[in-house]
RNA sequence: GUCCCGUUCGUCUAGUCAGGUCAGGACACCGGGUUUUCAUCCCGGCAACAGGGGUUCGAAUCCCCUACGGGACGCCA
């Protein structure tokens, strides 16, 4: 055990790279650098169902794009590997076994149906929903027998029945939570994989993480982690819980209300340095209060105690202002040109547009107007244009279903988009042409444009999805959106004809 | 509902740890100047210590209560 500072960023590869991940990474990195330590990147892919290699790749790429480097990780190795939890299951199983043997954990055979039922009843009785201890009283013989019958089972953490858990948060001081508030968490699932709680404790210990700097959302499960450290006979790291990035309405940052994918900002033409700088001023100011600073400057002067705890609202307007300053003050016109070309202003991107535009061109001057929607952040159009001849509410319905379907797309190209919409038309009993009308408007701002699927493919998933959400927003601002009830009904209907949603 | 965390201009925040310019900067907004327009740039303005009790000569700063906001309560992380 060294006394070196070691921090970690532990993203779960279950979707688009989130700005919140970058935010946490930034502070972990700054803290590690400031103290001459190292930052580890660990992939938390213990959710077999939702984790994908594509997402992992996208996250690593997005963080790199933002200019962050980690000292150890699945891509660059390190002496504490492997850095992917799916490759460390034996480690977790051994510890789970140990906890079982020590009597700190117990097997549970309850079905998820029963669990749901119990939860429902507890909610109805206004109790805190938690495991009722059903399997706690199983005898060793019963356990043996049920295991032999191949009944699926999980491992649950035994939690003290009374007293309270105290731990210190570096930013908030001492926090205490009654043990009665803590659920008998599942620490190993029936597929043999650990849940976050176990994996995170085992890995943080084995990887010699000295400081756990993570989001505020984890405060309430910290007692489980503290308990695990105790049961396993390990010294816990110090904890610091950072505030969460918020939507303008103060709720936790979510893609419904704000673009959250790092790729969105990349595709929309933001500079990574400006993004990083902006995130660095969320809940934090440098000691001298300067507001334009580089990653290195942040790292050199970083003091974690300066983090302020009120949840900062992610304000795209201010981000844009900052980005503008970078463009004007940090780059020469020549550099701007080069970056513009690398973005979407060069032959690579134009080459993809030409075949689509060509049949519609008479002169060169036709090119830019017709391709404009591929280069701007989002088109503007009046509501009437979006609704067309259809009922606005019906349009909202279709957009929503499409949003969910698009969420599931694992590949993003002309053909896969085409089949998604073919399927949509079929299920909705509409002609493709009719179905597509509002999508032309929300993607391009016009009823007539380049072929839609090619356009969406070039736009990329993030810009496309955001345009759909913006259209939905426009609709609801004008009283034609889905009501809460309507949304719920739609969701149910959706599940029946399209299957489960994944986000 | 229960528990936990939080609360300075509309927004990001300084000041809080070592009480004593009733509060500084930035975005946005408004006004003025430079500019053939716009933008940039420059100048100016608007605007906040959530409320109530204490402690103190004195509180944004320390303590308590209330309110409000957020988070957590999954075989998700």
ipTM: 0.94
Residue A177 CA and nucleotide B64 C1' are separated, in Å, by 21
- Does pLDDT of A148 surpass 90? no
Task: Provide the whole-model pTM.
Answer: 0.94
Q: A158: which strand partners?
A: none
Work out the angle between the directed axes of helices A432-444 and A414-428 (0-180°, nearest 10).
130
Residue nearest B26, CA–C1′ metric:
A291
Residue A481 CA and nucleotide B48 C1' are separated, in Å, by 35
Q: A246: which strand partners?
A: A252, A313
Backbone angles phi and psi of A133, in degrees to 5: 80, 15
State the pLDDT at residue A2.
Answer: 57
Query: Rounded mean pLDDT of A34-61?
Result: 95
End-to-end C-alpha distance for chain A, whole angstroms: 40
Contacts of A40 (CB under 8 A, 6+ apart): A6, A7, A8, A9, A70, A71, A72, A73, A78, A80, A83, A207, A209
Contacts of A440 (CB under 8 A, 6+ apart): A446, A447, A448, A449, A452
Pick the more confident residue, A143 or A192.
A192
- DSSP result, A431-479: -HHHHHHHHHHHHHSSSS-S-HHHHHHHH-HHHHHHHHHHHHHHHHHTT
Nucleotide nearest to A217 (CA to C1'): B71
State the pLDDT at residue A113.
Answer: 83
Nucleotide nearest to A44 (CA to C1'): B77
Q: Which of A298, A207, A206 is nearest to A7 (CA)?
A: A207
Residue A368 CA and nucleotide B36 C1' are separated, in Å, by 27
Sign of the dihedral through C-alpha A65, A66, A71, A72: negative
Q: Are A108 and A153 in contact (CB under 8 A)?
A: yes
State the pLDDT at residue A131.
Answer: 86
User: Cβ of A411: how many Cβ atoms within 10 Å?
Assistant: 10
Residue nearest B27, CA–C1′ metric:
A318
Query: Rounded mean pLDDT of A76-100?
Result: 94
State the pLDDT at residue A409.
Answer: 86
Residue nearest B4, CA–C1′ metric:
A220
- Does pLDDT of A1 surpass 60? no
State the pLDDT at residue A388.
Answer: 86
Residue A100 CA and nucleotide B29 C1' are separated, in Å, by 62
Query: Rounded mean pLDDT of A76-94?
Result: 94
Residue A282 CA and nucleotide B31 C1' are separated, in Å, by 30
Residue A325 CA and nucleotide B33 C1' are separated, in Å, by 22
Q: Are A247 and A13 in contact (CB under 8 A)?
A: no
Chain segment A96-132, per-residue pLDDT in tens: 999 999 999 999 988 888 888 888 887 777 777 888 8
- Does pLDDT of A89 surpass 50? yes
Residue nearest B75, CA–C1′ metric:
A189
Q: Which segments of A237-378 does DSSP mark as H helices, in order?
A: 262-267, 272-280, 295-301, 316-325, 333-340, 347-357, 367-375
Pick the more confident residue, A291 or A3.
A291
pLDDT band with cut points at 50, 70 and 90 for residue A203: very high
pLDDT band with cut points at 50, 70 and 90 for residue A503: low
Residue nearest B24, CA–C1′ metric:
A289
Residue A306 CA and nucleotide B18 C1' are separated, in Å, by 17
In whole angstroms, give the CA distance from residue A352 to residue A454. Answer: 9
State the pLDDT at residue A492.
Answer: 84
Nucleotide nearest to A249 (CA to C1'): B69
Chain segment A169-179, per-residue pLDDT in tens: 999 999 999 99
Nucleotide nearest to A126 (CA to C1'): B1
Residue nearest B3, CA–C1′ metric:
A181
- Does pLDDT of A500 surpass 80? no
Q: What is the dihedral of CA A350, A356, A361, A365, to 10 degrees?
A: -30
Chain segment A404-418, per-residue pLDDT in tens: 999 888 889 999 999
Rounded to the nearest angstrom, the gap between the alpha carbon of residue A39 and the centroid of all alpha carbons in its chain is 20
Residue A183 CA and nucleotide B52 C1' are separated, in Å, by 37
Nucleotide nearest to A309 (CA to C1'): B6
Nucleotide nearest to A248 (CA to C1'): B11
Which tokens go with A98? 């140990």
- Which strand B bases fall within 7 angstroms of a protein CB? 1-8, 11-17, 24-28, 40-41, 69-77
User: Cβ of A448: how many Cβ atoms within 10 Å?
Assistant: 8
Which tokens go with A219? 């405060």
Nucleotide nearest to A320 (CA to C1'): B27
Q: A41: which strand partners?
A: A9
Percent of chain A at pLDDT > 90 equals 79
The catalytic residues of A are 255
State the pLDDT at residue A137.
Answer: 82
In whole angstroms, give the CA distance from residue A256 to residue A371. Answer: 27
Residue A470 CA and nucleotide B67 C1' are separated, in Å, by 35
């Amino acid at each position: 055990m060294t006394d070196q500072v070691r921090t970690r960023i532990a993203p779960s590869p279950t979707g688009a790279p989130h700005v919140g991940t970058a935010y946490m990474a930034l502070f972990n990195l700054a803290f590690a650098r400031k103290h001459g330590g190292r930052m580890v990147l660990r992939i938390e892919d213990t959710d077999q169902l939702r984790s994908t290699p594509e997402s992992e790749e996208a996250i690593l790429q997005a963080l790199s794009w933002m200019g962050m480097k980690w000292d150890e990780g699945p891509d660059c190795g390190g002496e504490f590997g492997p850095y992917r939890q799916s490759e460390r299951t034996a480690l977790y199983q051994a510890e789970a076994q140990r906890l079982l043997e020590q009597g700190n954990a117990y097997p549970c055979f309850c079905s998820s149906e029963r669990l749901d039922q119990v939860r429902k009843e507890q909610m109805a009785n206004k109790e805190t929903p938690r495991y009722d201890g059903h399997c706690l009283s199983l005898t060793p013989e019963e356990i043996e027998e049920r295991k032999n019958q191949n009944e699926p089972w999980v491992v649950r953490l035994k939690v003290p029945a009374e007293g309270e858990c105290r731990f210190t948060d570096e930013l908030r001081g001492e926090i205490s939570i009654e043990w009665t508030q803590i659920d008998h968490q599942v620490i190993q699932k029936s597929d043999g994989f650990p849940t976050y709680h176990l994996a995170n404790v085992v890995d943080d210990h084995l990887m010699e993480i000295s400081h756990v700097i993570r989001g505020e959302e984890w405060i309430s499960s910290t007692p489980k982690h503290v308990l695990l450290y105790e049961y396993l006979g390990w010294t816990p790291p110090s904890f610091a819980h950072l505030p969460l990035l918020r939507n303008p309405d103060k709720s936790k940052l979510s893609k419904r209300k704000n673009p959250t994918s790092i790729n969105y900002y990349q595709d929309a033409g933001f500079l990574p340095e400006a993004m990083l700088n902006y995130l660095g001023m969320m809940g934090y100011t440098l000691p001298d209060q300067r507001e334009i600073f580089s990653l290195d400057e942040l790292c050199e002067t970083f003091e974690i105690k300066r983090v302020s705890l009120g949840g900062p609202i992610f304000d795209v307007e201010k981000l844009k202002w900052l980005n503008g300053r970078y463009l004007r003050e940090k780059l020469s016109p020549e550099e701007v040109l080069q970056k513009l070309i690398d973005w979407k202003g060069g032959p690579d991107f134009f080459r993809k547009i030409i075949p689509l535009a060509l049949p519609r061109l008479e002169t060169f001057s036709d090119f830019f107007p017709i391709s404009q929607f591929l280069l701007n952040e989002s088109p503007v159009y009046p509501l009437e244009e979006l609704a067309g001849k259809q009922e606005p509410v019906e349009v909202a319905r279709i957009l929503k279903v499409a949003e969910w379907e698009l969420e599931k797309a694992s590949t993003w190209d002309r053909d896969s988009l085409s089949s998604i919409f073919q399927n949509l038309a079929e299920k909705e009993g509409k002609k493709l042409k009719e179905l597509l009308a509002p999508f032309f408007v929300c993607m391009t701002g016009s009823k007539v444009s380049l072929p839609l699927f090619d356009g969406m493919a070039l736009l990329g998933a993030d810009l496309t999805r955001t345009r759909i959400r913006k259209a939905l927003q426009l609709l609801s601002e004008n009283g034609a959106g889905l009501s809460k009830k309507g949304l719920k009904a739609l969701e149910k209907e959706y599940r029946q004809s399209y299957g489960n949603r994944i986000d």
